[in-house]
Amino acid sequence: MTTTGEFFYLDPASISPTTKPWAKVDGGSTSSFRLTARQRSVTNLRDALPAATLPSGPLPGVFGGDIDVGGFAAFHAPLNSDTADLFTTDAAVRERYYPQVEALLRANLSGSSGAGKVARVVIFDHTIRRHDPAAPRQPVRQVHVDQTPAAAAARVRRHVKPAADAEALLQPGRRFQIINVWRPIGHAAADFPLAVVDWRSAKGEGDGGDLVPVDLLYPVRNRAEGDPDDDRGKEVPPDGGDGTEGYEVKGETYGVLPNEAHRFYYVKDMAPDEALFIKCFDSWSQGQPGGKKGVSGFTPHTAFVDPATPAGAKPRESIEVRCLVFYDE
């Protein structure tokens, strides 16, 4: 089953050869580049791809995709606690939802592509998005990748302590990933569903590639709240400004250029008891130093408008949790 949608890419004509592109994390009204729209076919992941398997057999709960092949995988993943107030406060998310995310990662990633067991999970960020004009974070309608390789290494150094541990985990041959665990909140995500691009249909960075590094700017107006190096729970509506004043560079993402070869997938009417793993980076991926041929490295993704969504569908609410995943040697 397929649908069609309008997808927004970084417009190559708007990129300066001398100035690095930038964008605001809070979805502010401007960035340094324009977007260009393309119509694309989108395949329902429920019908399209076989579930991932390990030597011991199929992974329990997987109903589409293999994260080390296409860059993503969908799971039946019911929550094991009362959800009434699970996503209402930053503290509740950290204390009650993070452990469930870690357990889901450990259960479904250990042994992938010949790696050992998951040795350590460091959850460094989460974002709740609501299709609501008053919400500080809206669904993002731009094809993008959450992290560049440089940003992935920076995340390890920023969030793994002591510093000696971080450097040990970054040594050649050690495998680490950044995985975004995405889930609808409260009701099915029929409104503004999330689409992912099969890694095998995308090209990397460089001449003729699809990926363009983009500086990610965070607002400084709430930096004094709590830990200045922790941005969780500090989301505020964008200030509407046109420039970079009041913002600082705290990350790097990839903008994605148009490519007719991109193969898009989504989970139609994805439910709150389902989760989607989106690979942002993998040190073992093809193209990385010492990487393995055929192992996916990144997953372009975006919200889109599904013309098959019925009128009156509840506005999307979702949570994404970004995780550093380290493996045994």
Residue 231 has pLDDT above 70, yes or no: no
Q: Where are the domains of the chain?
A: 2-327
pLDDT at 212: 96
Q: Which two tokens stand for residue 201?
A: 């249909």
Tens-digit pLDDT profile for residues 77-124: 999 877 778 999 999 999 999 999 999 999 999 777 677 899 999 999
Contact by Cβ (8 Å): 194, 180: no
Say what the pTM is. Answer: 0.91
Enter the tokens of residue 311.
């009128």
pLDDT tens across 261-317, in order? 999 999 999 999 999 999 999 999 999 999 999 999 999 999 999 999 999 999 999
DSSP code, position 48: H
Per-residue burial over 235-272, b = 16 or more CB atoms within 10 Å of its CB, e = otherwise: beebeeeeebeebeebbbbbbbbbbeebbbbbbbbbeb
Rounded to 5 degrees, what are φ and ψ at 158? Answer: -80, -35
DSSP string, 135-176: -SS----S-EES--HHHHHHHHHHHSSSHHHHHHHTSTT--E
Can you tell me whether residue 102 is helix, strand or coil?
helix
DSSP state of 90: H
